[in-house]
Amino acid sequence: MQWHLKLRGRTKTGKKYKRSYKKKRHQRGRDFLPTTIGTRRILVKKTRGGSRKSILLSTDAANIITKDGIKKSKILSVVGNPADSQFIRRNIITKGAIINTDIGKARVTSRPGQSGSVDAVLVEEKK
C-alpha cells in the first residue's frame, strides 16, 4: 500500500519541513489495477463515506461521442498513451489514452479505474 502525504522541499532559509501529524488510514492509496482489453470485469470497492467505486479491470467496449451522438463501439487496441509508453504494448487503458475502435481512433476522457466505464471522444474517423 502507498501512503499519500507530501513532505517535500525546504523553507526559504533552508530548513527541512517536518511532519506535524501522523498519517491517517484514509490517506492510504491503493495499488494500480490496470484496465486491459478483454471480457468485461468489474471490481466494486467501498470508499470513505459509504460510497462505492467501480474499478474496471477489463473491457471490450467504449462509449464514443461522435457528431451524430453517443455510439457504443468495440475496442481493438491501444494506439497511444501519454501516461506511459509501456501501456501501449500491454494494451492498458487510462485517461488520455488513444484507442483504436470499429468507428475510428478515439481519446479516452473517463477514468476507467474510478468510474467503471470507458468514455471517449472521436479523434479520427475510419474511412
pTM of the prediction?
0.78
Q: Is 109 exposed, middle or buried (0-12, 13-18, 19+ CB in 10 A)?
A: middle
First to last CA, the chain: 46
Number of Cβ atoms within 10 Å of the Cβ of 64: 26
For the chain, the structural domain boundaries read: 32-125
Q: Per the structure block, which three cell numbers stand in for 26?
A: 484514509
Average pLDDT over residues 37-57: 92
Contact status, residue 77 vs residue 100, Cβ threshold 8 Å: yes
Over the stretch 48-83, which tens digit does the pLDDT of each residue have? 889 999 999 999 999 999 999 999 999 999 999 999
- Residues 76-115: tens digit of each pLDDT: 999 999 999 999 999 999 999 999 999 999 999 999 999 9
Interior angle at CA 42, CA 37 and CA 43, nearest 5: 130
Cβ contacts of residue 115 below 8 Å, gap of 6+? 54, 56
CATH 3.40.109.10 is held by the domain 32-125: no
